């Protein structure tokens, strides 16, 4: 019978611990070798090894690349600066996405016409109180042609200028139509010499009684005659000194079945508060009758050219129907507002002033 050697308990415990350590070391070393050779998915973030296909198998198709997001740093349009700043005109290309902003288009400022340039020059001159320059620029602008709103602006500015250079007692340097004159006779005689009615000289010189002016006194005179152009289509009368437009007035003209004849007329006579007989009813309206359609002034016209030749009983007068101004509703005469016809009455000269009617 073999002899059994007795081992103390402490020796047995040491031996078991050593075996445990050796076994653990072998396991750890084995796991490390496995990890280095094949890798473990639960110990590494790397992709698992791709299994090699058998010789008789077709290799699997490679995985499709993952699409890049729209805001990839490689995309030039991803940065805010590239999206908001347009390219220069020679660098622009056609947009490849309908969501892209279209290229900016330069807006060209239209070149002003010669008439528009004159309008602005006249406006500037009037603002600087240069009335002679202003009236010349504005009158030429209207003659060259402006659109309706600008034409109205120019005419309004001309009217304002005329209030100063024409209807005030002042004479301005360079004014070819107004001058100083020392009284050397009666006012009517001085007016005839300058081809204007004496009434306009009395008005601009603030003369209350034309029969009482001192000899040798300087007064302002205007060199006429004035002439007028009546535009049937625009319901507008333009008053001229030579080729210079000096005043504009709204008018009414003949109804379509009794239109105002075109052509040239000459002033035949002028009457204040005259009697009038209705040619249709033969009713007579006395002077100062509130129902008298002439409105206090009558400027009789005689046709000398165009459709006007041989026409009678036509004239320019005021009205008791101011709402008819700007319409074609008269019996063929030219209607004006009462204040306007009084002014024209004092400017036109019998047998010398012409009125042209145009379409």
The average pLDDT across 98-117 equals 78
Determine the pLDDT at residue 98.
53
Q: What whole-number distance in Å separates Cα of residue 292 and Cα of residue 288?
A: 7
Q: What whole-number distance in Å separates Cα of residue 320 and Cα of residue 271?
A: 17
**DSSP letters of 107-148?**
PPPPPPPHHHHHHHHHHHHHHTT-HHHHHHHHHHHHHH---H
This prediction's pTM: 0.69
Is-contact 195 223, C-beta < 8 A?
Answer: yes
Q: Tell me the residue length of the chain.
A: 359
Determine the pLDDT at residue 279.
82
Is residue 29's pLDDT more than 60? yes
- Answer yes or no: do 215 and 233 share one domain: no
The average pLDDT across 95-122 equals 79
The average pLDDT across 98-116 equals 77
What's the number of CA atoms in the CB half-sphere (13 Å) around residue 115? 14
Q: Tell me which of 208, 224, 240 is where a domain ends.
A: 224
Among 2-16, 213-227, 345-359, name the one with the lowest average pLDDT.
2-16
**CATH assignment at residue 317:** 2.40.440.10
Q: Tell me which of 224, 239, 261 is where a domain ends.
A: 224
Handedness of CA 305, 311, 313, 316 (dihedral sign): negative
Antiparallel, parallel or unpaired: β 218-222 and 178-182: antiparallel
- Answer yes or no: do 250 and 180 share one domain: no
The pLDDT tens digits of the residues spanning 189-201 come to 999 999 999 999 9
- Answer yes or no: do 199 and 305 share one domain: no
Burial 124-146 (b: 16+ CB within 10 A, else e): ebbeeebbbbbbbbbbbbbeeeb
The average pLDDT across 172-200 equals 96
> Which residues constitute the domain of residue 126?
112-165
- Answer yes or no: do 193 and 311 share one domain: no
- Answer yes or no: do 241 and 353 share one domain: yes
- Answer yes or no: do 220 and 231 share one domain: no
Question: Is 87 a domain residue?
Answer: no
- Answer yes or no: do 274 and 179 share one domain: no
Question: Is 85 a domain residue?
Answer: no
- Answer yes or no: do 230 and 345 share one domain: yes
């Amino acid at each position: 019978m073999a002899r059994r050697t007795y081992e103390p308990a402490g020796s047995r415990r040491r031996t078991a611990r050593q075996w445990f350590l050796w076994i653990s070391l072998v396991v750890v070393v084995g796991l490390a070798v496995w990890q280095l050779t094949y890798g473990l998915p639960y110990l590494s973030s790397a992709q698992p090894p791709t299994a090699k296909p058998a010789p008789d198998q077709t290799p699997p198709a490679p995985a499709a690349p993952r699409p890049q997001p729209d805001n990839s740093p490689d995309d030039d349009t991803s940065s805010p600066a590239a999206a908001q700043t347009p390219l220069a005109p020679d660098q622009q290309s056609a947009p490849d996405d309908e969501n892209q902003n279209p290229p900016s288009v330069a807006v060209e400022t239209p070149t002003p016409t010669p008439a528009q340039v004159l309008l602005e020059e006249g406006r500037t001159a009037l603002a600087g109180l240069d009335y002679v320059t202003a009236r010349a620029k504005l009158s030429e602008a209207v003659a060259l042609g402006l659109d309706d709103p600008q034409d109205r602006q120019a005419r309004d500015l001309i009217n304002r200028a005329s209030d100063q250079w024409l209807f005030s007692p002042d004479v301005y340097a360079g004014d070819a139509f107004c001058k100083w004159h020392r009284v050397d006779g009666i006012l009517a005689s001085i007016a005839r010499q300058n081809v204007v009615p004496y009434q306009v000289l009395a008005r601009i010189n603030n003369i209350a009684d034309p029969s009482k002016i001192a000899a040798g006194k300087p007064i302002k005179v205007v060199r006429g005659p004035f002439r007028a152009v009546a535009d049937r289509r625009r319901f507008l009368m333009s008053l001229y000194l030579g080729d210079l437009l000096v005043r504009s007035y709204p008018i009414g003209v003949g109804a379509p079945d009794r239109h105002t004849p075109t052509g040239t007329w000459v002033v035949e006579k002028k009457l204040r508060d005259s009697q009038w007989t209705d040619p249709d009813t033969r009713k007579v309206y006395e002077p100062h009758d509130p129902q008298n359609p002439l409105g206090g002034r009558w400027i009789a016209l005689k046709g000398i050219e165009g459709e006007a030749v041989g026409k009678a009983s036509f004239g320019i007068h005021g009205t008791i129907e101011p709402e008819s101004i700007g319409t074609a509703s008269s019996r063929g005469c030219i209607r004006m507002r009462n204040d306007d016809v009084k002014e024209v009455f004092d400017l036109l000269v019998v047998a010398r002033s012409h009125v042209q009617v145009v379409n």
